[in-house]
Structure 1
Amino acid sequence: MKKISILLLGIISLASCKNEPKPDLQEQTAVEENLEVSNEALESAVIYEANIRQYSPEGTFDAFTEDIPKLKELGVKVIWLMPVYPISETKRKATGDLSVEDIEDPEERKKYLGSYYAISDYTGINPNFGTREDFDELIKTAHENGMYVLLDWVANHTGWDHKWLTEKPEFYTQNEHGEPVDPLNPDTGESWGWTDVADLNYDNKELWDEMTNAMKYWIEEHDVDGFRADVAGEVPTEFWEQALPKLEENKEIFMLAESEKKDLFHEAFDMGYNWEGHHLKNELAKGNITVEEWDAYMQKIDTTYQQDDYLMNFVTNHDENSWNGTIRERMGEAAEAMTALTYTLPGMPLIYSGQEYDMDKRLLFFEKDTIPKEKGKMWPVLKKLGKLKNTNKALHGGKEAGDYLRLKTSADKQVLAFERSKNSSKVVYIANMSKEPVEFTLELDTALKNYLGKEGFEVQENNTYSFQPWEYVILINN
């Protein structure tokens, strides 16, 4: 797995001479903007998925840029931008199985903006979002606030308007008639249903060079800090491994794979998706499984991955929200306990646009929509969770993560209790992961104090506790 060197901060001694000239203000700003990716920062990071189209009524870079300082309040250190590139018009998705070509009314057609993942130009900017200058201002503002910016990269396929379809047809997977095809399920040979995109063929090594150069463009010309790779496991691991050294010729970058495929993390990616853990949280919330299945999963990943591999933990993202339901739909009353769990587990927690504002609707995927912007219950919860993640070493979740220790209770099928620790710091998470009240015993350090969750919780001498359904508490020792 690639190693990111930790940024060494030099200590500059101030000369005592009163007549020494003050540093130039422009030079100071340049230093602030020169943000470098470091393991140290990533250990305590929260990542934010920014859906630019739906983030504001305007749906622009500028509207999102204005709110970047607010995200800092939530402990955000990494911003993942959903695709910002022009979207193909040919075979553009509309509603259901329909494309825009199937809709006769020209006014009706206009409202369908297509999938962000049907890209017509890898080095272009979606004009609906703004200009290149607007994009650069977003990057600059994020860096000034100590945040890295990742671009969503779609290496598996392009939209049907991409110039390669006419100039480089050999870049695409073709049927027996020599026609490009949409992506196929390798297990069945059937279409995934992504009819608005054409599948790329990585048997062609010239494609590797073109794709790598397109990624490199955004680092060199726009100072992005890395990439979130869409369906990363469907692209050969060897492509990512050959690309990384070229992408890092001038600066270290951060790589997030939309995959749990362990081979991706050996030389190419820093972090992957905790898809299996996410699905287990959904099943726990529905009462379909018990905590025993969760414990088995934690034991499995401990032996599956290398010590410095880590995963992104989430209760929602753009796919889950639009296609599988809101947090409330999937998790019901367990929503807050599951959200707190994503922050206390090893790894990095994700916030998806609107989650911080208690969003309880499925965002439209192919049309314009807007997230709510009123702070409710979740903003202060995420703020406290973000502060704890940022400041408590026990919750380090990257290459040097804090230890995870399952704590034994008298009701381990219903109660999940574990301790995270690093150096002298400890964080304990306890939750009733069931629909029924539960009374249980658990030995706890009397030095632990209530940080968030169950009101009035105190460590008891008799080690006996009662939790209501989905009730949780987070305890700290300092």
Structure 2
Amino acid sequence: MPVKGAQGVKFVYIAQDHVQSVAVAGTFNSWNHQADYMQQTGERRWELERSIAKGRHLYKFVVNGEEWIVDPQNPNISEDGQNNSAMTVTENGEVLIRTTDISARNPGFMYKNYSALESPEWIRKAVIYELHLRAFNENGFTGLAEKIGYFKQLGVNVLWIMPFGLVGEQKRIGKHGDPYAIRDYYSIDPSFGTAEELKAMINEAHANGIRVIMDWVMNRGSVDHILTETHPEYFTRNENDEVYYEVPNRDYFAGLNFDHPDLRRYIKKAMSYWFAEFQFDGFRLDDSDITPSAFLTEIRNELGQNGREFVLISQSYDEYHHVDSCDLTYDGSLRLMIKAVAEGALSQKDVIKIYHSYTYSFPRGSLRMRWLEEKELSRVAEYLGPKLAKPAATLLLTVEGVPFLMMGQEFNERTFNTWKSLFDDYQLDWTPFDQELFEHYRFLIRLRTEHAAFWNGELIFIKNNQDKVLSYIRKSKDEEFLVMVSFSEDPLVLEFEEKNIADRITGAAKQVVYRSGGANPGNEHHAPDWRMEPYESLIYRIQ
């Protein structure tokens, strides 16, 4: 487990067998497994001490140059779904390890000492939908404008548009290449349309109450980016003085040299152009966990001069990003917990402790962007199994934070296989369309966005006698809901530790707001019997 050392963070690895080499690779060295080799200090003991900037860092040990393993001594595993060890380094060089001992009664360092920056109300109420233009529809920006009615029907109110700029040609993989290998930060791929068509699409979204977020590629451009010729000093270079990207297996990228002040000015000016000229409502910052935190703050200050509300979404799990620069950080813990609950590996009590440990290890008021799917992982129905897709959606849309959907998630699209699907000709398969799952999402999205209890209220867990059922209250000043979600393949009968919960409902309007797989959503009234069918979601209004 890493600790504060005399010169920085000290890592220790105790090998089970004799090994030839051990290295540490993580967000602090761009996952370069050849940058930080550990020194053998005993027969099986390996050590490394290095300076690491403040913030959340993910890492693994790399044994013999091939085997990537988590730190056996560190219990904190990242919520990114990729099984990384995690730590947070404070401004004083102390190393924080999140454990389930962190709670409301025992808050962590960041919760006790920091508050999150103030964010616009619209992002608190948001349900975010990520899409790629070519994959989602034909006819680029114009085709997407014609799909605004679909988003209104679903109820999402923020669109996140994946990169649409010109992609580099050199070392390109596939017909279209990686959409994040942008060749010119000011460019639009003409296959998607024109600048005027992009503006028309954004105007159409805004006219229908939908915000639009631009996906911004941090840290890198394509290896043949236009600036590599005119400003080679803007890029990282290897021992042969060639532009390169330090992250392994990304030969088609050129890394940005953020030590160069002119590069920073260039990036901020480019982002300001898209923000002001096209009226984007903010940016999702790709791979911001390996971007200098101070530069993220510079970006926020630059955009703030425009005088218009905006948000920055950080693709990181860094507590410090909430303090100075970003409105949202990622949280994929629901995906992991649901699978563990369904398989019996986590109890209800475990889930409650894990959930609270995240809440109380981040700055007060932090907004986490919660997801079941994201571009680097498989479909949630494939990961959890199709029967768990509906209860998983219920949890996503009724807990705290800001939910985000990957395109097609709402109708159980089956063909998307990470962002690498986009390297060649690819479109979502809209047939078969799971109408039942779509209606499940549609109802819960509207419930969430129309009731402050879900987007701005407390979450209070109500313990029950079934480990595979999560039950909790969402409560605002004016309204209160009881949510019950079963991840069990068997029917169950619930008993609550809070004995008066039944009286609070049966003594009121006895209103079932939603019952998946049972009664139709609506104002059905009956006394609760606390019986739950397999994989059922049940929501009561408490009046």
Q: What is the TM-score with the length of structure 2 in the denominator?
A: 0.71
Cα offset, 1:303, TM superposition = 1.0
Question: SS at the partner of 1:312?
Answer: strand
> Is the contact between residue 167 and residue 182 of structure 2 (CA under 8 Å) also seen in structure 1?
yes
Pair 1:432-2:494 in alignment: no
Which residue of structure 1 lines up, in the alignment, with residue 127 of structure 2? 46
Aligned match of 1:336 in 390, 393, 401? 390
Is residue 507 of structure 2 the alignment partner of residue 452 of structure 1?
A: no
Q: How far does the alpha carbon of each residue in 1:92-122 deviate from its partner, in whole angstroms, 9 at most, with x for none?
A: 123xxxxxxxxxxxxxxxxx21111111111
* Aligned match of 2:285: 229
* Cα 1:386/1:405, change in 2 over 3 Å: same
How far apart are 1:130 and its partner, in Å? 1.0
Deviates more, 1:422-431 or 1:329-338: 329-338
Q: Find out whether 1:409 has 2:489 as its counterpart.
A: no
Q: Which is helix-richer, 1 or 2? A: 1
2:141 aligned to which of 55, 61, 71: 61
CA contact (8 A) 2:338 2:487 kept: no
Percent of residue pairs identical: 25
**Larger mean Cα displacement after TM superposition, 154-163 or 311-320:** 311-320
| Distance (whole Å) between structure 2 residues aligned to residue 331 and residue 183 of structure 1 | 36
Q: Which residue of 2 aligns with 1:24?
A: none
| Contact map agreement 1:47 1:349 (CA 8 A) in 2 | yes
Q: What is residue 251 of structure 2 aligned with on the other side?
A: 195
Query: Which residue in 2 is equivalent to 1:129?
Result: 192
Q: Does 1:468 align with 2:530?
A: no
Single out whichever of 420-429 and 369-378 deviates more from structure 2. Answer: 369-378
Q: For 2:154, what is the secondary structure of its paired residue? A: coil
Aligned partners of 1:87 and 1:115 also within 8 Å:
yes
Secondary structure of the residue aligned to 1:142 is: helix
User: What's the offset of the Cα at 1:456?
Assistant: 4.4
SS at match of 1:173: coil
- Matches of 1:209 and 1:128 in 2, distance apart? 29
Per-residue CA shift, 1:4-42, capped at 9, x if unaligned? 4xxxxxxxxxxxxxxxxxxxxxxxxxxxxxxxxx41x33
Match of 2:360 among 285, 303, 326: 303
Aligned partner of 1:70 in structure 2 is: 150
Cα distance between partner residues in 2 of 1:117 and 1:161:
13
CA distance in 2, matches of 1:477, 1:157: 51
Q: Deviations over 1:307-337 (max 9, x none)?
A: 22111122223322xxx34524434311100
Q: 1:21 corresponds to which residue?
A: none
Between 1:119-128 and 1:269-278, the stretch displaced more is 269-278
| Residue in 2 that maps onto 1:420 | 474
Match of 1:294 in 2: 351
User: For residues 285 and 172 of structure 1, do their structure 2 counterparts lie closer, same or farther at Cα, with a shift above 3 Å needed?
Assistant: farther
Equivalent position SS for 2:129: strand
**CA shift at 1:286, angstroms?**
4.9
Q: Counterparts of 1:92 and 1:246 in 2: how far apart (Å)? A: 33
Asked if the contact 1:149/1:226 (under 8 Å) is kept, the reply is: yes
Structure 2 unaligned residues grouped into runs of 5+:
1-115
Moved more, 465-474 or 342-351: 465-474
1:166–1:42 distance in 2 versus 1, CA, 3 Å: same
The one-letter amino acid of 2:463's match is: K
- Give the AA of the match of 1:452: Y
Q: Which of 435, 442, 446 lines up with 1:387 in the alignment?
A: 446
Q: For residue 375 of structure 2, what is the aligned residue in structure 1?
A: 318
* Residues 282 and 331 in structure 1, CA contact (< 8 A), matched pair in contact too: no
Q: TM-score, normalised by structure 1?
A: 0.80
Q: How does 1:363-374 map to 2 (within 5 A)?
A: 363=417, 364-373=421-430, 374=433
Question: How far does residue 459 in structure 1 lie from its aligned partner after superposition?
Answer: 9.2
RMSD: 2.2
The answer to whether the 8 A contact 2:381-2:388 is kept is no
Contact 1:154 1:229 in 2 (8 A): yes
Distance 2:434 2:458 in 1: 34
Contact 2:511–2:526 under 8 Å retained in 1: no
Quick one: distance in 1 between partners of 2:415 and 2:345?
24
When you count strand as a share of all residues, which structure comes out higher?
2
Alpha-carbon distance between aligned partners in 1 of 2:488 and 2:236, rounded to the nearest angstrom: 48
Q: What amino acid is aligned across from residue 531 of structure 2 in structure 1?
A: S
Work out the CA distance in 2 between the residues paired with 1:315 and 1:420.
20
Aligned to 1:28: none
- 1:124 Cα deviation from its structure 2 partner: 0.6
**Does the 8 Å contact 1:157/1:183 carry over to 2?**
no
The answer (yes or no) to whether the contact 1:315–1:342 under 8 Å persists in 2 is: yes
Inter-partner Cα distance in structure 2 for 1:297 and 1:470: 22
Partner of 1:79: 159
- Residue 93 of structure 1 is matched in structure 2 by 173
1:3 aligns with 2:60: no
Task: Report SS of the residue matched to 1:195.
Answer: coil
Q: Separation in 1 of the partners of 2:535 and 2:494?
A: 14
Q: Number of residue pairs matched?
A: 410
Flag the 1:174–1:387 CA change in 2: closer, same or farther, 3 A.
Answer: same
Distance (Å, rounded) in 2 between the aligned partners of 1:465 and 1:148: 39
Task: Report how far residue 215 of structure 1 moved.
Answer: 0.5
Match of 1:359 in 2: 413
Q: Which residue of 1 aligns with 2:76?
A: none
Provide closer, same or farther for how the CA distance between residues 360 and 287 of structure 1 changes in structure 2, counting only shifts above 3 A: farther
- Distance in 2 (alpha carbons) for counterparts of 1:144 and 1:47: 17
Q: SS of the residue aligned with 2:540?
A: strand
1:274 aligns with 2:331: yes
How far does the alpha carbon of each residue in 1:182-216 deviate from its partner, in whole angstroms, 9 at most, with x for none? 233xxxxxx1x222212222222222111111111
- Match status 1:247 vs 2:303: yes
Q: Quickly say closer, same or farther: Cα 1:183–1:427, change in 2 above 3 A.
A: farther
Whole-Å separation in 1 of the counterparts to 2:339 and 2:192: 33
* 2-structure distance, mates of 1:282, 1:171: 44
Structure 2 residue identity aligned to 1:403 = E
Contact 1:285-1:332 within 8 A present in 2 as well: no
Which amino acid is the alignment partner of residue 435 of structure 2? Answer: G
Q: CA deviation at 1:266?
A: 0.6
Give the match's secondary structure for 2:168.
coil
Does the 8 Å contact 2:473/2:482 carry over to 1?
yes
3-state SS in 2 of match to 1:368: coil
Q: CA deviation at 1:59?
A: 5.0
1:143 aligns with 2:206: yes
Shift of 1:355: 2.1
Q: Give the CA deviation at 1:275.
A: 2.3
Unaligned runs of 5+ residues in structure 1 are 5-37, 95-111, 185-190
Is the contact made by 2:454 and 2:474 (CA closer than 8 Å) also made in structure 1? Answer: yes
Superposed CA deviations along residues 404-449 of structure 1, whole A, max 9, x for unmatched, are: 10001122x2221111100121122112223444332123332352
Q: Sort the Cα spacing of 1:287 and 1:85 in 2 relative to 1 into closer, same or farther, 3 A.
A: farther
Question: RCO greater where, 1 or 2, for CA within 8 Å and sep 6 or more?
Answer: 1
Query: Does the 8 Å CA contact 1:45/1:75 hold for their aligned counterparts?
Result: no
